Structure 1
Amino acid sequence: MSITIRELCNDTYHFVSKEAKIIIFISMLATFMSILINMLIKPNMHIIAIIENKKFISSHSIFDLINNMSVYEKKELLKYSIFKILEFLINKTFLVGSIITLIRHLSNNQRESIKLSLYSSFKLLPSLFILNFITTFIIQIGFMFFIFPGIFLSVLLALSPIILSFKKNNLIECIRLSISISYKNLNVIGISVLFWMCVKFIFTTIFSNTYIISKNFVFLILNINMNIFFSILIIYLFRFYMLFLRS
């Protein structure tokens, strides 16, 4: 049985339209979690100023910027980078885990209690966090060399968290299966990941150039919207994998 993009889009649309409120709530919760992390762990404002000002943009490369920094600035930049990576991974892990739990709970026709669903979700989160760390590291290496390897790796690894929630396989096996399945269904998986990347780029560009409202409010709206669209991507991929297992 061939899996069509139209079928997946229709299924995703019906699910999102029925569960829009809970999806928006989860997206907002993930955003507020990021804000809370930012509030609890204050980064060095001097490093943020270096990154945000024109010196960072006008430098020929990130390596030029780092080479011109003092030892103290390099250490602070490393701390800030680690902090932002952890914030991203925590946010992504919570969002993916919550959406997967929601889908699985509703897919079981309420036979599985919400308490059992949440318990399964909490058990999944540590493995999901490590998996997200590995896949993010691999994808960023791809982007470091050139943009197309990064995009290609993003497509190939997109199914790995979905596979983890189904099979509870070891992480390497989930990555291997994701690469194998995604490569064979490159058009179906690729178009959804590319759409998500385009939405992310458009939203970031628009909100980054908005100076009328405060930065904090822009950060809030931007992240809620991106979390909603990322949730839609997870629902699309989850539905694909369900149909793939049945075929």
Structure 2
Amino acid sequence: MLITASALYRDTGNFLRHQLVNIVLIVFFTSCVMAVISKVFMPSIEEVQLLGEEALSGATRGVIEIVQNMSPDQQKVLLQLSAAGTLSSLIGHALLLGGMLSLISIASSGKPVTALHALGSSCPNLLRLLSLTFLMMLSIQIGFMSLVVPGVLLSITLALAPMIITTERVGLVSAIYTSGQLGWSHIRLIAPVVSFWILAKLLVLLIASKLVILPPDLAIVFLDILSNFFSSILIIYLSRLYMLLKS
């Protein structure tokens, strides 16, 4: 069967329209969880301001030089800030993946489903999704840090791994390997939507610079909601693609 991008876009739009309330609730829940984790592990405002002053004063220097010239307390704050952001993003993305994949699976079978039901049904897969999300985030970040192109290619080739690991009940290595094969052979279908997702993430970063008028906690939740909503659209598209590839 010939799979076209226009058919996938249409299926994604239909699912988004029919399950919009459940999708918004899942996105809102995962965004709140991310905000709570960030709040718990984030350093105090005074420490962040101290770190910001050091980064601002060294704006013309390299990142490594700035870190080397920081005091031990400032380096500790930077490490805590990085760890809080990474942990928040890791857990949030695993919850979003689990909830969305369960929602798609149950809704596609014709059964009635709610956001709470989808999130509850995803619990058995959360640990595996958490491990997979960590490996994907690590490899993609390394790819973007070395050169942009490897990061983009890894984002494309690893895109189907969450659907494979939850549907086929295979291990991490097998899911990543299978995703790499499918992703590369169907790159024309995956590359445009992944590129859109990357551009959407950049748009969120651009919006973040304009939200200085909002309280920090409210701004963080709003940005997480926006980012997770874009990610949910990508998950729907990729899930539908994998369903068609299986059939």
Normalised to the residue count of structure 2, the TM-score between the two structures is: 0.90
Counterpart code for 1:89: L
Deviation per residue, 1:25-80 (Å, 9 max, x gap) = 11111111112223333424455335545527824332122111123332332232
1:80 matched residue in structure 2: 81
CA distance in 1, matches of 2:51, 2:32: 23
Deviation per residue, 1:134-187 (Å, 9 max, x gap) = 111111111111122111111111111111111111001101111110011111
- Structure 1: runs of 5 or more not aligned: none
Q: Which moved more, 1:104-113 or 1:190-199?
A: 104-113
CA distance in 2, matches of 1:117, 1:26: 9
2:48 matched residue in structure 1: 48
CA distance in 2, matches of 1:192, 1:8: 10
Q: Which moved more, 1:213-222 or 1:23-32?
A: 213-222
1:210 matched residue in structure 2: 211
SS at match of 1:58: coil
1:9 matched residue in structure 2: 9
* Cα RMSD after superposing both structures: 2.4
Counterpart code for 1:48: V
Q: 1:157 to 1:173 in 2, by over 3 A?
A: same
Counterpart code for 2:49: A
Work out whether residues 47 and 77 of structure 1, in 8 Å CA contact, stay in contact via their aligned partners in 2: no
Q: Which moved more, 1:104-113 or 1:138-147?
A: 104-113
Work out whether residues 105 and 114 of structure 1, in 8 Å CA contact, stay in contact via their aligned partners in 2: no
SS at match of 1:69: coil
Q: Which moved more, 1:189-198 or 1:147-156?
A: 147-156
Over the matched positions of the two proteins, sequence identity in percent amounts to 30
1:129 matched residue in structure 2: 130
Q: 1:214 to 1:117 in 2, by over 3 A?
A: closer
SS at match of 2:143: helix
Q: Which moved more, 1:154-163 or 1:50-59?
A: 50-59
Normalised to the residue count of structure 1, the TM-score between the two structures is: 0.90
Number of residue pairs the alignment of both structures matches: 246
Runs of 4+ in 1 over 4 A off after TM superposition: 50-54, 111-120
* Residues 1:58 and 2:63 are matched in the alignment: no
CA distance in 2, matches of 1:112, 1:217: 30
Q: 1:80 to 1:217 in 2, by over 3 A?
A: closer
Q: Per chain length, whose mean CA-contact separation is higher, i.e. which structure has more relative contact order (CA < 8 Å, sep 6+)?
A: 1
- Structure 2: runs of 5 or more not aligned: none
1:21 matched residue in structure 2: 21
**How far is 1:93 from its partner?**
0.4
CA distance in 1, matches of 2:205, 2:157: 24
Q: 1:114 to 1:85 in 2, by over 3 A?
A: closer
